[in-house]
Amino acid sequence: MYRSNAAHDRPPVKNVRPVEHDRPPRVAIVVHAVYPGDPRVRRQSDALTDAGYEVDIIALRQVGEAADETDGAQRIVRLPVNRAFVGFAGHLAEYVAFTAMASWRLAREHRRRRYDLVQVATVPDFLGFAALPEKLGGVPLLLDLHEDMPEFFRDRFAHPLLRPLRPVVGAISRASAAVADELITVHEPLRRLSIARGVPPDKIGVVMNSADGRLFDPALHPRRPFMADGTLRLIHHSNLQRLYGLDVAIEGLAQVRPDLPWRLDVYGDGPWRPEIEAAIARTGTADRVTLHGAVPMDDLPALLAAADIGLVPSLHEPYLEYSLSTKLLEYAAMGVPTIATDLATFRHHFTDTALRFIPGGEPLALARAVESLADDPEGSVAMGLEAQRQATAYDWEHQKTRYLEIVERLIAARV
């Protein structure tokens, strides 16, 4: 279970109020992601606007989305870049293009809007340099490490010809951290890794990727009785990437014993969808596996409440040892019994009584875990409730207070 003894953690404040201005304080958030699709940025933006801030979000633009959109105190500026990268060259070109455009647009908006703080979400880490002009002008910079860039690079770009670039990636990460006034990251193991790489312990804190309690509230979405209709209903929601192992999970489900009826509903989309469709065709499970595509975040709680088991079948790779799946926290918040890969970060936050851990990338292990949970309905329900209990330590209300305190402190230090 996670217990932070970080020197940077301060007692949460009960009433977080922005410093006095002749106008509401303004925060710009730069993120290489779609918005409002990114749940972490969405929670942070909502927390800021609820606390009296105005927020401008500079993000990617998907087909059909407005370039500029305002909703109350929140404004979304979407740049003409979208996730279409292939390989290292494609990733790099997109990251560089977005960073350049974000830097130009941030400077333009700052002249009009006068930001009191700029927050930049990684990856890539060099996106932090998009806010360098504002930083040099006295605007505090908060760097939000969604992921670890060196591990991301090591995993995604393992070709021998790219290995000489690893020290360069590490140097960029250190330089980006040095430029920022303060850093936050998504969990304690990633904080410790950042400290090991040279970030001062009192400069980096943890604001976890908690499930949003306003949405993932089991009181609003009562769970159905386990296998109420005689069919085991499994669920998985994510951006469909190779690392998340859904095609491996489908291979495993095809090996579940014939007398156990099951269905898998998948919500989300992404570049690994063709391989997942191929796995469905290869295993003959098209009548049991449904790819629904992306759904609004607001629809997910009810979908989770109607499922018997959640699947987090991530591959067991070094990069994911520093990743804490938001979907895992959402399953826990809703009390959904969950089968998850045995990753160090998962074990750091949940015990064996809360999750059914399995080796990553092993289809048969997943099949046996599914059968075991189906054969013990009472134990499975109890496991989901224990995960729900353990997840209360990571509740967004607590994380929100910590986040707002950090933002307020940085802005107040500038005044």
Q: What is the pLDDT of residues 22-51, one digit of tens each?
A: 789 999 999 998 888 788 899 899 999 999
Report d(CA 122, CA 381) in Å as an integer.
37
Task: Give the pair of three-digit tokens for residue 245.
Answer: 């192992």
Stretch 399-408: mean pLDDT, rounded? 94
Report d(CA 264, CA 295) in Å as an integer.
16
CA distances from 248 to 287, 298, 381 (A): 18, 28, 25
- What's the pLDDT score for residue 149? 80
- What's the pLDDT score for residue 84? 64
- What's the pLDDT score for residue 270? 84
- What's the pLDDT score for residue 21? 54
Of the pLDDT bands very low, low, confident and very high (cuts 50, 70, 90), residue 73 is very high
Stretch 169-190: mean pLDDT, rounded? 91
Instruction: Select from 113, 30, 9 the least CA-distant residue to 77.
Output: 30
Stretch 66-74: mean pLDDT, rounded? 91
- What's the pLDDT score for residue 14? 41
CA distances from 326 to 75, 152, 209, 212, 229 (A): 25, 17, 6, 10, 28
Task: State yes or no: pLDDT of 387 exceeds 60.
Answer: yes
* Domains present along the chain, CATH in parentheses: 26-210+395-414 (3.40.50.2000), 232-394 (3.40.50.2000)
**Residues 91, 115 contacting (CB under 8 angstroms):** no
First-residue to last-residue Cα distance in the chain: 39
Query: Burial level of 255, CB count in 10 A (0-12/13-18/19+)?
Result: middle
Long-range CB pairs of 341-347, under 8 A, 24+ apart, other chains included = 341/245, 341/312, 341/313, 341/314, 341/315, 341/316, 342/316, 343/314, 343/316, 344/189, 345/187, 345/189, 345/190, 345/320, 345/321, 346/312
**Residues 32, 60 contacting (CB under 8 angstroms):** yes
- What's the pLDDT score for residue 415? 62
Amino acid sitting at position 49:
T
Of the pLDDT bands very low, low, confident and very high (cuts 50, 70, 90), residue 5 is very low
- What's the pLDDT score for residue 91? 79
Write the pLDDT tens digit of every residue in 313-338: 998 877 677 778 888 999 999 999 99
Give the containing element (helix H, strand E) for 86. none
Query: How are beta strands 68-71 and 232-237 bridged, if at all?
Result: unpaired
pLDDT above 70 covers a percentage of the chain that reads: 93
Task: State yes or no: pLDDT of 7 exceeds 70.
Answer: no
- What's the pLDDT score for residue 86? 63
What average pLDDT is seen over the chain? Answer: 89
DSSP line for 326-364: HHHHHHHHTT--EEEE--HHHHHH--TTT-EEE-TT-HH
Give the containing element (helix H, strand E) for 27. strand 26-31
pLDDT above 90 covers a percentage of the chain that reads: 63
**Residues 316, 341 contacting (CB under 8 angstroms):** yes
Of the pLDDT bands very low, low, confident and very high (cuts 50, 70, 90), residue 1 is very low
Instruction: Tell me which of 36-40, 138-142, 263-267, 350-354 is least confident.
Output: 36-40
- What's the pLDDT score for residue 85? 64
Task: State yes or no: pLDDT of 124 exceeds 90.
Answer: no
Task: List, edge to edge, every strand of the sheet that includes 26-31.
Answer: 68-71, 74-79, 54-60, 26-31, 117-122, 141-145, 182-185, 204-206
Of the pLDDT bands very low, low, confident and very high (cuts 50, 70, 90), residue 20 is very low
Q: What is the DSSP letter of 192?
A: H
Q: Give per-residue burial for 232-252: e unless 16+ CB within 10 Å, then b.
A: bbbbbbbbbbbbbbbbbbbbb
Of the pLDDT bands very low, low, confident and very high (cuts 50, 70, 90), residue 348 is confident
Write the pLDDT tens digit of every residue in 272-312: 999 999 999 999 999 999 999 989 888 999 999 999 999 99
